[in-house]
Amino acid sequence: MTTISLLRTIASMALFGAWLLAGCASTVDVTKYKNNICEVHQLVMTVHEVECVSGNSCYMPDFRSAMHEQFPHHGRRRYSEDHFVLHARRLRDYVCPECTKAYEDWVARNPRKVASQGSAAAHANAQ
């Protein structure tokens, strides 16, 4: 291994480590490269910090499907892996007020189809 390739390997490992640490930060900004117009409701969204827990909504297929179709930018609890971060306690993201209303309506109608506490993975394991 040449010195240059060794340095490239070390630099790659450092970048990967920085990415991991960013995912572990308490608040992660995920607004970069996103549009501030809700594609469902055609409203201008505002930036908010929203609660985030570890997990992935893929373990709740009904919720995930409804989220993508009806409330992709809700302002309630999010799952970190849906945003490609390993773990974050809070996300700084665009929030649409109509998405938040749609989320609350859907959760009220489907209380057993969304994790009440902890991660989505923990919810899936409990079923």
Number of residues counted as binding Zn ion (CB under 5 A): 6
38 near Zn ion (CB under 5 A): yes
The torsion region of residue 55 among left (phi > 0), alpha (psi -120 to 50) and beta comes to left
Q: List Cα–Cα distances, 26 to 29, 64, 121, in angstroms.
A: 10, 24, 20
- CB nearer to Zn ion: pick between 87 and 98: 98
Distance (Å, rounded) from C-alpha 82 to C-alpha 63? 12
Which residue among 23, 25, 29, 40 contacts Zn ion (CB under 5 A)? 40
- CB nearer to Zn ion: pick between 66 and 96: 96
30 near Zn ion (CB under 5 A): no
104 near Zn ion (CB under 5 A): no
Distance (Å, rounded) from C-alpha 57 to C-alpha 82? 7
Half-sphere exposure of 12 (CA within 13 A, CB side): 6
Which of these ranges, 7-15, 40-48, 54-62, 114-122, lies near Zn ion under the rule CB under 5 A? 40-48
| Locus of tokens 């409330």 | 71
Compute how many other C-beta atoms are within 10 angstroms of the C-beta atom of residue 46.
Answer: 11
- CB nearer to Zn ion: pick between 49 and 98: 98
Site track 62-101 with Zn ion (rule: CB under 5 A), x = hit: ----------------------------------x-xx--
Contact positions vs Zn ion (CB under 5 A):
38, 40-41, 96, 98-99
